Structure 1
Amino acid sequence: MRMHKPLSLLGLALVALALLWQRHAATPRPADVQVYSATRASPTAGNRNLPSYLPPQAVETLALIANDGPFPHHQDGVVFGNYESLLPKEPRGYYHEYTVETPGAHNRGARRIITGGTPPVVYYYTDDHYRSFRRFTWQP
Structure 2
Amino acid sequence: MSTRSSQTRAAQVVPGQRSLIGLLIAVITAAVLWWTQGDGNTPGADPSPADTPSAQQTTSQTPTAGQSGTDPDSGLPIVRVSDLPPEAAETLELIDAGGPFPEDRDGVTFENREDILPQQAGGYYKEYTVETPGSDDRGARRIVTGANAELYWTDDHYSSFSRIAR
TM interval, shorter chain, is 0.5 to 0.7
Alpha-carbon distance, 1:33 to partner? 2.1
The normalised TM-score by structure 1 is 0.63
Q: Which residue of 2 aligns with 1:74?
A: 104
Is the aligned partner of 1:130 residue 2:158? yes
- Classify the secondary structure of the residue corresponding to 1:79: strand
Runs of 4+ with deviation above 3 angstroms: none
Bigger CA radius of gyration: 2
User: In 1, Cα distance between the equivalents of 2:94 and 2:117?
Assistant: 23
SS in 2 for 1:71: coil
Measure the CA separation in 1 of the matches of 2:152 and 2:74.
14
| Counterpart residue type for residue 76 of structure 2 | V
For the pair 1:92 / 2:122, whether they are aligned, the reply is: yes
Residue 78 of structure 2 contacts residue 165 of structure 2 at CA under 8 Å; is this kept in 1?
Answer: no
For 1:60 and 1:70, locate their aligned partners in 2 and report how far apart those are by CA, in whole Å. 12
User: Which residue pairs with 2:39 in the alignment?
Assistant: none
C-alpha distance in 1, partners of 2:119/2:89? 26
Aligned to 1:35: 78
1:17-56 per-position Cα deviation (integer Å, ceiling 9, x unaligned): xxxxxxxxxxxxx9652124x5xxxxxxxxxxx241x100
Q: How does 1:12-27 map to 2 (within 5 A)?
A: none
What root-mean-square deviation, in Å, do the aligned CA atoms of Structure 1 and Structure 2 show?
1.7
Q: C-alpha distance in 1, partners of 2:135/2:106?
A: 17
Unaligned runs of 5+ in 1: 1-29, 39-49
Which runs of 5 or more structure 2 residues have no equivalent in the other structure? 1-72
- The structure where helix makes up a greater share of residues is 2
Q: Check the 8 A contact 2:91/2:128 in 1, yes or no.
A: yes
- Count of paired positions: 94
